[in-house]
Amino acid sequence: MSRVRIVGGTITKTSKGATTIEVLDGHFKSTAAKENRWVGDEKGNTYHEYKAPEKKEEECVKEIELLTALDFGSTNDTANGLNNPGMIFGKTYHFKVKSYKKGAPKNKGDIKWVLKYHNLSENKWDEILLSSTGDNLKIKMNEEELCGRFVYVRAYINDKENEGEFKVWQHNRFRLLNRKDLKQEIEDRIINSSLIDQGGSSMCGIAVVGFNFAREQGDAYRKFVLDIHRMGKAKNILTGYELLIDQDEHLLKYKPTDAKYPLDSNGVKKMTLADFIFLICIKDNLNVMFDYDPDGPNAGGTIEGGTGLTLPNEVASIMKNIANYKDVINDTNLVTSRTRGASIWVKKLQDKLNQGYRIGLLIDSDNFSKNKKSTFTIPTHWVGLININSNDSTQLVNVEVYTWGGTRKWTLSYDVFKDGYFGYIAGK
């Protein structure tokens, strides 16, 4: 029978008679940090003063170097520079042990590698133990969670916490877009979501959904946009909807300083970072055959090979997947919406607003914005309905909408309304 007793303080054992310690087999060992004292007379006797064992210096890695050139990206600060060096997602990097504290080990296979980083999604420190061994490491940085973080690349023989380390920044996926500016723009839109502006792009249907999403679900909107910027992917915390940018990563090359960066409808003001990421990445994700191309053949940005107008079924889909509306109604029609009287549609829309629905109207933008009846109209624009009423005696419709980065009020004749109105998508 064996017994081990560990005590953190002092042990005193007193005996009035004789005390015998007998070890039948093996050894009796007494160790003290200062001295062993066996007292049998006035002077006492001391044997074998304690000496701490010498610590044997172990082989260990001292320094690591990076042999692959880094790429520049945003400094993510008020300076708005693009001279911040860092690694890029999907690119392979070559690290090498530069020096050792006690010479190189006889077996280079004893050298192991690990990546350490702060996991922003879970707010904790994580490690990735690599299977590679030896004094060289070639690694493809294809872990999205490392984006927008400092990565601590470590090589070690015995102690992974205290041997060689190389600290290097890994860029956000949208490395040319300033994250500090992006965060401020997101907060501005949570306070006033009508700031969301599609500019000269054809993202009006998504903008209408974003207008309600940002003001009603600010935390989900913030996380969604920031995750796309950092990792190139995002998952809506409300619905589970996932977005992943295309494998060709064509959107990542654009920066606000580009001459052809998406502009507003007048071709002057640049689209903000928050709107570029939210609107265009969602539209690009919806397109099966075509990529969104800000440098496309039509000014302001189009979809390669076809129109970029968001279709009614797509608006209904993102109302469910983005805004988390459980009840979505698609009441758009190129024919019947124009054969009914304006007052009938106004009454229907008023009822939906009173029931708490958020509504996107499909209209001919020139017809509505200019209150001008046209010979031929087609659906060209989505607006977010805020308020609507009509007057049969004056044959006028008063409508307040969100569109193009703000709110507008239009007064339309019944004929203009009827000719330029193509139905609605409603959700709550």
Cβ contact 165:114 at 8 Å: no
* CA–CA separation, 43 and 20 (whole Å): 22
Of all residues in the chain, the percent with pLDDT exceeding 70 is 78
Rounded to two decimals, what is the model's pTM?
A: 0.80
pLDDT digits (tens, 9 = 90+) for 289-311: 455 555 554 433 443 333 467 88
Residue 164 CB contacts under 8 Å (≥ 6 apart), including other chains: 60, 61, 62, 63, 64, 97, 98, 154, 155, 156
CA geometry: angle 185, 187, 192, nearest 5 deg: 90
Return the bridge partners of 329, or none.
426
Cβ contact 380:169 at 8 Å: no
* CA–CA separation, 111 and 135 (whole Å): 6
pLDDT of residue 12: 65
Least confident range of 82-91, 116-125, 329-338, 415-424? 329-338
Query: Closest by alpha carbon to 117, among 142, 147, 93?
Result: 147
Return the bridge partners of 71, or none.
86
Of all residues in the chain, the percent with pLDDT exceeding 90 is 61
* CA–CA separation, 206 and 225 (whole Å): 14
- Mean pLDDT value across residues 324-347: 82
Whether 40 has a pLDDT exceeding 60, the answer reads no
pLDDT of residue 306: 37
pLDDT digits (tens, 9 = 90+) for 142-164: 999 999 999 999 999 999 999 99
pLDDT digits (tens, 9 = 90+) for 367-385: 888 888 777 788 889 999 9
